[in-house]
Amino acid sequence: MGKRPKRTRSSIINQEIRPIEDDFYNVWKRFVDEVTDNDALKPDIILHSGDFFDSPSGNDPTPPPEFARKVVAETFKKLNQKKIPIVFIDGNHGRYVQYRISTLSEYPILFDNVYLFTYFELKDSIRNKIPLFKDFPELKLRVHAHPSIESTDIPQLFSKYKEWILIQNNNIDPEMINIGLAHGMIENKTLHSDFLMGDYDYVALGDNHKMQQVTDRAWYAGSTELWSFGEQSYNKGYLIINIDGNNKGIEIIPKFFKNHRKIVSEEVNIVDEDTNAKIIEKIKNIFNKNNLKKEYDYSTAARVKISLKGNKSYGSFFHLNELASYLNKITLDSNEYNIVEFILDLPQYTEFNRYNSNIDQENPFIEYLIENPEQEFKEYIDSTRKEDLKRNNLDSNLLAKFFFEALKG
């Protein structure tokens, strides 16, 4: 909630929201409508595995937009009227790093059906060696919470953290249905693998934006809306989990939301002989192929990313600053194309450094589209540089850690 892609049209929709921001609100409202208006879908409880708001995040201290809070109040009120409890945990998005308060802290005060486990409660539980959970006696349900923890916190808490996971796993009540609710990934060490060894009837995982099964009883539900172009192939939606309280049998039903916007993400190969006009022609052909050459209409406008690939030598005919300026003008400043978001991903040629620095000044909080850079870098060098690694006696795990530290710097 409150996600605002940066390379969009400058208009403010209905004087309330930025372009595409409302896509995230609408899909959440659609979910709430589905589970409250249809008795067949009405759940006993809703579990949210973190990252409910997009900001603040990392070094970005920006609070959630006020319109996001308005939507949350309206939807929580509707869930409260239907007497559907909802349990949240803090993710790595949507919480302040320095303040001992969550962006969700006000909602358990306002609505008696909302329950929250914060990042700071997790750290307190680890230090004090006590489990973090909530019982719902009327459902014979115990929710075992593992909010997000920063990977930078793990070295300080490592021995206590591993010990706490055991404490958490030993807090299973055999007379109840036991659900693990966690935000993190084993790959980036924000979730200890031992947590999945607990005898939980189900583990609801968050952080990975892809709906994905991890074990027979552990899933990432994924996100409900396309957060970045790297998620174009992901199914978006939520999971319905039916657990028989007597024999602990389980049924997992994925429910999908269809993206109403066309998503276009393509590569364009360029060569030294190409001119600006030639590259523009190639890109316009992609627009035309995807039926985008028509008057701009916000409700149907597409999200588009074009990646230029190819080397550039001294004396090449194309000039990327001019190219980028022209393409931004026709896609985001005119009604010539039905496009609401346009990203031109360019090779890092020297002449483009000035253009990139201008972008950074306008958008000081960098948006990383790779969810797990350390893991993906390791996979890349393992698959493409295997012989070099062996010949030079290099450890891909160590190289990936250096790469991740360099990114953070």
User: Residues 91, 92, 94, 98: what is their CA dihedral angle, to the nearest 10 degrees?
Assistant: 120
13-64 pLDDT tens trace: 998 999 999 999 999 999 999 999 998 889 999 999 999 999 998 778 899 9
Sign of torsion, CA 216 154 2 335? negative
* Location of each CATH 3.60.21.10 domain in the chain: 21-257
The gap between the terminal CA atoms of the chain, to the nearest Å, is: 28
Q: Which CATH number fits domain 21-257: 3.60.21.10, 3.40.50.10490, 3.40.50.150, 3.40.50.2000?
A: 3.60.21.10
Low-confidence ranges of the chain (pLDDT < 70): 151, 154, 158, 315, 349-371
DSSP one-letter code for 118? -
pTM, two decimals, is 0.82
- Which tokens belong to 100? 């001992």
Give the pLDDT of residue 355: 44
Give the pLDDT of residue 376: 80
149-165 pLDDT tens trace: 876 776 777 678 989 99
Q: CA–CA separation, 310 vs 229, rounded Å?
A: 21
Residue located via tokens 């060569």: 271
- Which tokens belong to 295? 């008057």
Give the pLDDT of residue 366: 44
Beta bridge partners of 183: 206
